[in-house]
Amino acid sequence: MTGPVLREMRWWDIAPVLHLERELFPEDAWSEGMFWSELAHARGPEATRRYVVAEEPGDGAVDGTGAGDGRIAGYAGLAAAGGLGDVQTIAVAREHWGTGLGARLLTELLQYATAFECEEVLLEVRVDNTRAQKLYERFGFAPIGFRRGYYQPGNVDALVMRLNMHDTTDTTDTARTTSDTTIGTTDTTTDTTTETTESAESHG
């Protein structure tokens, strides 16, 4: 059975992504406007964002524009500025948890971070989301601190994790093979100054 195909997120993906966002993060889901704002910074020579969706194969597969007709199984985004990357969000539909899709999405974001010439990548994850934390640790992320009461309205603390991109070559290959049997979604939002992180893997 063919797995979901990763491709660039485009404006026509916002509606299905928003549906999945609300399903996974009912308390603090991103708004439609937030996704539009993120994608507005994802193209062109001055781009500071990269977003990707995981699309299940549809009857027509993927056409010449890169748009398919399958269901969105996950999505992820990265912000980058001044040599620093920030995982904005990673989300995986529940039926795809344990399939390695979260690891594939994170690998894609780290490739974008390399293209952006990031020296470090940060993310936030709920302190009670140990499944997501284990995935990030496999990729070489290490905890560096906490953000108290970061997730509202639940008042849940966020664990801040950092990856030194100079140490990723071997770690990424190992993480991809050991996969993401533990994860649902990660979402972290950063307008370079603003951030958010959730849990299904995790949300920023």
User: What is the C-alpha to C-alpha distance for residues 17 and 162, in angstroms, rounded to an integer?
Assistant: 26
What's residue 19's pLDDT? 97
Strands 72-81 and 201-203: unpaired
Is 28 exposed, middle or buried (CB count within 10 Å of its CB: 0-12, 13-18, 19+)? Answer: middle
pLDDT at 43: 93
**Of 112, 119, 167, 117, the residue nearest 139 (C-alpha):** 167
CA nearest neighbour of 159 among 182, 134, 179 = 134
* pTM score over 0.75: yes
Cα radius of gyration rounded to whole Å, the chain: 15
Quick one: pLDDT at residue 167?
79
pLDDT of residue 72: 97
pLDDT in tens, the chain (204 residues): 578 999 999 999 999 999 999 999 888 899 999 999 999 999 999 999 999 999 999 765 444 444 556 899 999 999 999 999 999 999 999 999 999 999 999 999 999 999 999 999 999 999 999 989 999 999 999 999 999 999 888 899 999 999 999 876 555 554 544 444 334 444 444 333 223 333 355 676
